[in-house]
Amino acid sequence: MNIYFWPQTNNKRVASYRIRCLNIVKLFEERLYGPSFYIKKPFLFSFRRPHTLILSKRYDSKSIAHAIKLKEKFGTELYLDLCDNHIFYKHETPKLKKRKIDFINAIDKIDNIITSSDYLANEISKYKNKNKIRVIEDLTEKPSSYSKYDTIFSPSKYREYKRLKSFLKSNEAKGPENIIWFGNKGTPHSGGGIDDLSLTIDILNKVYEKRPITFTVMSNSKKSFSPILERLKCPTLYIEWNLQFSSDILSLHDTCIIPIKKTPFTLSKSSNRVLTALSHGLNVIADPIPSYKKYQEFITIGVDYENLKYSAKKTRQRGDIDKLIYLQNKRILDDWQKIFINE
């Protein structure tokens, strides 16, 4: 049985590729029905006929047309895996309008849809029969530590990591709570990122008047965040996200805040950031979107002054968090397995 992922990108820096493609393939590679990656080459058709093809965030018209041909020629079962709401745009340019049309057409033409959240599934159900939509959440990556190889071959990233450690140590005497926000910078047409973080500036400044805190932003555009960070009164540092050191960077902090400016795009987000922060031993204070409220037993709901004015307290033991993430990942792998064995 040939099962293939056909991702929109194979860049490991892209979280969706790692947690919804690459890591799934790796975890199933020893099983007889495990998936691999699709290579679009006609000469392979004769001996690599795809029984199942999962298009991961790949919904451009050419890819969809190719997938339909596979279905017609080999009876391939088609799935479209989506983790972003590309139906919604705050500002719709001609390019984005075409992207939205491609997105909706792909939903219509592909047999089955997989989404990373219930909210996104409900959004897509406006264009697709609910019976054809499955929700499979994001696999949570285990915390990891950088290697000696990383310090040698990624020296600038290692220097940034050491700079963060020095920054936190220089403020250590004041006994601060070290707070971090991490995520993509967002886009003007969809929101998220900077839009979300801008909600917290006045809150953090008010908290700093009451007690010592430091604040770190880990993202993908220092230039974009600089105007916001300049408004903060507390000791603040921006650090560029990178694959090698991001896990160690998270582990240096006490608390992660996840503010959300609610739009159909941000409401569609998965629980990935909440569970990633929890897996690194952080207290989590997050705004109430559907994917986050499911874990309110383990996190504090509401990024506001009342929840930040006192030092965050751990509400659960490490063992509870580990069990939560283990069971979550197990359920996710079981859900993928049902697709692979056509259940």
Q: Is the per-residue pLDDT at 225 higher than 50? A: yes
Q: Which CATH number fits domain 154-324: 1.10.12.10, 3.40.50.970, 1.10.10.10, 3.40.50.2000?
A: 3.40.50.2000
Q: Which residue has the higher pLDDT, 318 or 302?
A: 302
Q: Is the per-residue pLDDT at 235 higher than 60? A: yes
**pLDDT-above-90 percentage for the chain:** 82
Residue-range domain boundaries for the chain: 3-136, 154-324
CB 109 within 8 A of CB 68: yes
Whole-number pLDDT of residue 325:
95
**Predicted confidence band at 93 (pLDDT cuts at 50, 70, 90)?**
confident
Polymer length in residues for the chain: 343
Average pLDDT taken over every residue of the chain:
92
Whole-number pLDDT of residue 315:
57
Distance CA 117, CA 134 (A): 9
Whole-number pLDDT of residue 42:
59
Distance CA 265, CA 192 (A): 8
Q: Under 8 Å CB-to-CB from 51, ≥6 apart: which residues?
A: 1, 2, 3, 74, 76, 77, 342
Average pLDDT over residues 194-206: 95
- Burial tier of 167 (Cβ tally within 10 Å: 0-12, 13-18, 19+): middle
Two domains, one topology: 3-136 and 154-324: yes
Q: At what angle do helices 94-109 and 61-74 cross, to 10 degrees?
A: 10
Q: Under 8 Å CB-to-CB from 78, ≥6 apart: which residues?
A: 52, 53, 55, 67, 68, 70, 71, 110, 111, 112
Q: Is the per-residue pLDDT at 43 higher than 50? A: no
How would DSSP label each residue in 60-78? -HHHHHHHHHHHHHH--EE
Check the CA dihedral 110-114-116-119 and report its sign: positive
Whole-number pLDDT of residue 314:
59
Give strand ranges (E) for the chain.
3-7, 36-37, 52-56, 77-82, 112-115, 133-135, 177-182, 213-219, 236-240, 255-258, 283-286, 300-301
Average pLDDT over residues 9-13: 95
Average pLDDT over residues 29-56: 77
Q: pTM of the entire structure?
A: 0.94
Whole-number pLDDT of residue 318:
78
Whole-number pLDDT of residue 313:
59
Task: Report, at the CATH architecture level, how domain 3-136 is classified.
Answer: 3-Layer(aba) Sandwich (3.40)
